[in-house]
């Protein structure tokens, strides 16, 4: 496998850009092929079968670029489809759930961890499963926060409406005295300051995007796949593909990634 091959990153839409952004920061020599399934978002309210079928199509699409590894930059797809995807391909593939769970298990002092995520991720109990494997003495409190995704996508990152919804969702977690909160959905790091204000200084917010990029780097080093050469001038280092609404995606992406996204291309994912 070629060290210079790109990394495939996918999400149900724009949320995975928070993961792509961390990969760009932490391993800046790497090339990325990003796919956002903007035609079929959200995944968080869909069934395991559907999310798995979609994820398999995306992996097939990413493999047409001879990617050296794949990052499932979506909590819901990591929760529902990662096991199945691992069986289908022979390149390394990592999700965002395990890295986030690992840090949370290490971080908590009082053994009380909160997880906020989509309904699917909370329902799958995947964070609890991984955290308990590492530390069986912790208690995990899951809280689905489905309204955060549309609020973030509407750009209401700092807005009284988001403050109000966040208060409603998070008050019960404040009341049960958790000391660690996993932001278990790709969109949530974008409203981190709102969430932090409500939870207070005593609660550590865990961003799985950051931890995933760190684990990805370790994995690439271990497999001798880390790209040690900086990209050449004019090389198309980051390529973005979506299943619908390329212009809207591009605007959103440019607002959170400061590495110059030139374009996003629409493809027909159903053909894969």
- Contacts with ligand DGL by CB under 6 A lie at 11-12, 15, 41-44, 74-76, 118, 121, 149, 185-187
Locate 51 and state its tokens.
């999310």
CA distances from 262 to 4, 250, 256 (A): 21, 8, 14
Tell whether the torsion through CA atoms of 257, 262, 268 and 272 is positive or negative: negative
Residue 137, strand partner residues: none
Tell whether omega for the bond before 42 is within 30 degrees of 0, i.e. cis: yes
Pairwise CA distance, residues 200 & 116, whole Å: 16
Which residue is at the shortest CB distance from ligand DGL?
Answer: 44
Q: Which is nearer to ligand DGL, 59 or 225 (CB)?
A: 59
Q: Which is nearer to ligand DGL, 5 or 245 (CB)?
A: 245
Q: How far is the CB of 229 from ligand DGL (least distance, A)?
A: 32
Q: Could you say which of 170, 185, 220, 242 is catalytic?
A: 185
Q: How far is the CB of 41 from ligand DGL (least distance, A)?
A: 5
Q: Which is nearer to ligand DGL, 57 or 75 (CB)?
A: 75
Q: How far is the CB of 96 from ligand DGL (least distance, A)?
A: 7
End-to-end CA distance of the chain: 23
Tell which residue, 119, 124, 132, 103, has the closest CA to residue 207. Answer: 103
Locate 19 and state its tokens.
């993961």
145 is catalytic: no
Q: Which is nearer to ligand DGL, 43 or 61 (CB)?
A: 43
Give the distance between the most distant pair of CA atoms in the chain.
53
Q: How far is the CB of 47 from ligand DGL (least distance, A)?
A: 13
74 is catalytic: yes
Instruction: Give the residue numbers marked as catalytic.
Output: 74, 185
């Amino acid at each position: 496998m070629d060290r210079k091959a790109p990394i495939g990153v996918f999400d149900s839409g724009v949320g995975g850009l928070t993961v792509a952004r961390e990969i760009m920061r932490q391993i800046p020599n790497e090339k990325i092929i990003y796919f956002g399934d903007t035609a079929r978002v959200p995944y968080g309210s869909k069934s395991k079968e559907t999310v798995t079928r979609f994820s398999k199509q995306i992996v097939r699409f990413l493999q047409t670029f001879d990617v050296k590894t794949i990052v499932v930059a979506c909590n819901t797809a990591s929760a529902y489809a990662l096991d199945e995807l691992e069986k289908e391909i022979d390149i390394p593939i990592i999700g965002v759930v395990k890295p986030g769970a690992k840090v949370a298990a290490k971080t908590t002092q009082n053994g009380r961890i909160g997880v906020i995520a989509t309904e699917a991720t909370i329902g799958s109990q995947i964070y609890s499963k991984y955290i308990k494997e590492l530390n069986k003495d912790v208690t995990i409190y899951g809280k689905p926060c489905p309204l955060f995704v549309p609020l973030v996508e509407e750009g209401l990152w700092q807005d009284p409406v988001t403050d109000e919804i966040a208060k409603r969702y998070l008050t019960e977690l404040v009341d049960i005295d958790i000391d660690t909160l996993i932001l278990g959905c790709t969109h949530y790091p974008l409203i981190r300051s709102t969430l932090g204000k409500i939870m207070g200084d005593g609660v550590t917010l865990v961003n799985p995007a950051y931890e995933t990029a760190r684990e990805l780097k370790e994995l690439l080093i271990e497999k001798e796949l880390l790209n040690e050469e900086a990209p050449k001038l004019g090389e198309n280092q980051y390529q973005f593909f979506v299943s619908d609404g390329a212009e809207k995606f591009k605007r959103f992406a440019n607002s959170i990634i400061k590495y110059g996204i030139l374009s996003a291309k629409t493809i027909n994912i159903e053909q894969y």
